[in-house]
Structure 1
């Protein structure tokens, strides 16, 4: 396993993010910010061997990041689906029951934590949002009104038609596995 310098990866992701959002940042600015972060109080990095080495490292790290992301840098995030589903569920449950348990906060926390696992990229964003909401509902024992427990229809079929129950459980298990991983030591 390779260990990468975190400031190099951070600088490279900033540089790549600017490109993805059509608001490119000058690599010289990225280098100066990274250098100033590492060496507080120093002025801008002079163009020389250190500058060119850092520039080459950022470009190489950018290529690595692109490979890790499978060159899929313009993705649809599950957050917007989750927000839509939660707003609909708030009306579905009613304000009193909705306020009784922090479903939205817990579902958002599950989603945030799931971003620490690369398998989040293996699932449709709508399905990830549903799985995180399902976990939150189960944690607080909240049952949605007007939903019968049968094998034909799940509560989330109102929002997504293409999510099979076995896939739903698979995603929920992946989210829960995030909490069983040992923290990385640096």
Structure 2
């Protein structure tokens, strides 16, 4: 069920030309709402649409509520051109759905405690690429790793990982996995210093959950890899911590 509203937010956000930050915030708002509310009692379509509308106001660029409503409705009824056409011609139906979305937005605001702040992992990813000395503009391997890490963060938006871990921890986890997959070596001590002991402690769990998005159990012994890396953290020039592959 979680995947269904995330898929709609992502698809509608793309059609609305919203940036990745806004789409990520929308999914975060929806996840946070359902962390304390029943999915069975709260319409996922209305909550997802309200989350996307709220995120567009928080992150910019702002989208008109009816533009968001119409786009989400069209996605929900993709493959049903007659239903979409009828909706666009029915002012009453548009008004009713608009009111439903605005009511859902009010409920959403109460659920998130009127706290619109969403710390995104993407700026941390850009920072970590820099502190690791990676040069995507010159090194194809580094470029592939950076792109893979960004894609991992995009996919993580569909899960509750953004609720479970700090943004810096998620960014470090995604970049660690990407570097291993792309066979990119780096001295990770600056990243460990940036995220602190607590963040480093959670990297193994976050990596395991990221890996499970693609192949459950792919990072089963990652805790051992992190522990081994910690014992060598003061040694300059050590390689990227190993992330087991299948």
Deviation, 1:180, is 4.5
- Structure 1: which 5+ runs fail to align? 148-153, 182-186
User: What is the distance in 2 between the residues matched to 1:106 and 1:18?
Assistant: 26
Pair 68,43 (structure 1): closer, same or farther in 2 beyond 3 Å: same
- The correspondence for 2:154, drawn from 106, 109, 112, is 112
Deviation, 1:167, is 1.1
Bigger mean CA offset, 129-138 vs 9-18: 9-18
TM-score, structure 2 normalization: 0.53
1:39 counterpart SS class: helix
Q: Provide the aligned C-alpha RMSD in A.
A: 3.7
> 1:159 maps to what in 2?
194
User: What is the distance in 1 between the residues matched to 2:157 and 2:65?
Assistant: 27
1:179 counterpart SS class: coil
User: What is the distance in 1 between the residues matched to 2:209 and 2:49?
Assistant: 30
- The correspondence for 2:50, drawn from 1, 12, 15, is 12
TM-score, structure 1 normalization: 0.66
- The correspondence for 2:177, drawn from 123, 135, 149, is 135
Deviation, 1:155, is 5.6
Deviation, 1:61, is 2.5
User: What is the distance in 1 between the residues matched to 2:156 and 2:61?
Assistant: 28
User: What is the distance in 2 between the residues matched to 1:175 and 1:60?
Assistant: 34
2:85 counterpart SS class: coil
Deviation, 1:24, is 6.1
Pair 166,158 (structure 1): closer, same or farther in 2 beyond 3 Å: closer
> 2:166 maps to what in 1?
124
User: What is the distance in 1 between the residues matched to 2:214 and 2:206?
Assistant: 14
User: Retained in 2: the 8 A contact 1:128–1:171?
Assistant: yes
Deviation, 1:136, is 0.9
1:142 counterpart SS class: coil
Aligned counterparts, 1:74-89, within 5 A: 74-89=117-132
User: Retained in 2: the 8 A contact 1:32–1:45?
Assistant: no
Q: How many equivalent pairs are there?
A: 169
Q: Max radius of gyration: which structure?
A: 1
- Structure 2: which 5+ runs fail to align? 1-38, 76-82, 217-246
